[in-house]
Amino acid sequence: MTQVHLRCRCGKLEGLATDVSPRTGNHLICYCDDCQAYAHFLERAGGRGGRSGAILDAHGGTEIFQMTPSQFQLTAGDEHLSLVKLSQKGLMRWFAGCCRTPVANTVSSARVPFVGVPRAFMESGADGNALDDALGPVIGYANARFATGEVGGLPAGASSKVPLGLIGRGLRLLAGAWLAGKNRPSPFFHPSTGAPVVVPQVLTPAEREQLRPNGA
Ligand SMILES: [Zn+2]
Ligand SMILES: [Zn+2]
């Protein structure tokens, strides 16, 4: 049972992911414009130029490991947990308010057993290999139509939308987790009411527009 230590850049918010393996989650890279806008949101509002460089790869992709809430816990500094939605309907994007490190993406419903954890919140072992071993290879590249930089440099198999195989695999994992009640415990939602533990900041359409990729 592999544990992955989670830690924001400044170290105030810490957590632990348990039972991490290629079997128990989806290791993917998402190039979608929302994930890119989110990286820019974390960078700009923090006033620290270049922060998104650590979140986004050379093509604007965000490396994510999708797991269930029952695999994810916060162990220190949860008062720094902050929440933004890029639009009223968008994903809940949880981040560390102390240093604006992305922490996790969830949907709005506490009942859905899904947490996407960005690699930027994961701590590598001394040589980085331990984390690579735990996550296994990247199995999918999603929304590559939004990718930036040299298109020829994209990995073979990068899909312009979300690859069907990945959707099928995701649904199977989700269904199994749903039946097993793995939406709980979750550090993101009140167990009784299902409300998020932090009131989300919801960006206005104008604020979202300012976060366009490539500064376009
Ligand atoms: Zn921090
Ligand atoms: Zn995305």
CA of 32 to the centre of ligand 2 (A): 4
Q: What is the pLDDT of residues 196-209, one digit of tens each?
A: 999 999 999 999 99
Q: What is the pLDDT of residues 149-166, one digit of tens each?
A: 776 667 766 777 777 777
Question: What is the model's pTM?
Answer: 0.89
Q: How large is the average pLDDT for residues 86-110?
A: 94
Q: What is the pLDDT of residues 52-69, one digit of tens each?
A: 557 899 899 999 999 999
Strand order in the sheet with 14-17: 4-7, 14-17, 72-76
CA of 81 to the centre of ligand 1 (A): 9
Ranges of each domain in the chain: 4-208
Q: What local confidence, expressed as pLDDT, does residue 216 receive? A: 44
CA of 38 to the centre of ligand 1 (A): 17
Fold of 4-208: 2.170.150
CA of 165 to the centre of ligand 2 (A): 17
CA of 34 to the centre of ligand 1 (A): 22
What single-letter amino acid sits at 94?
W
CA of residue 185 relative to chain centroid, distance: 18
Strand partners for 118: 64
Q: How large is the average pLDDT for residues 183-201?
A: 92
CA of 15 to the centre of ligand 2 (A): 22
Q: Which ligand is nearest to the CA of 46?
A: 1
> Does pLDDT of 19 surpass 80?
yes
CA of 35 to the centre of ligand 2 (A): 4
Q: Which ligand is nearest to the CA of 61?
A: 2
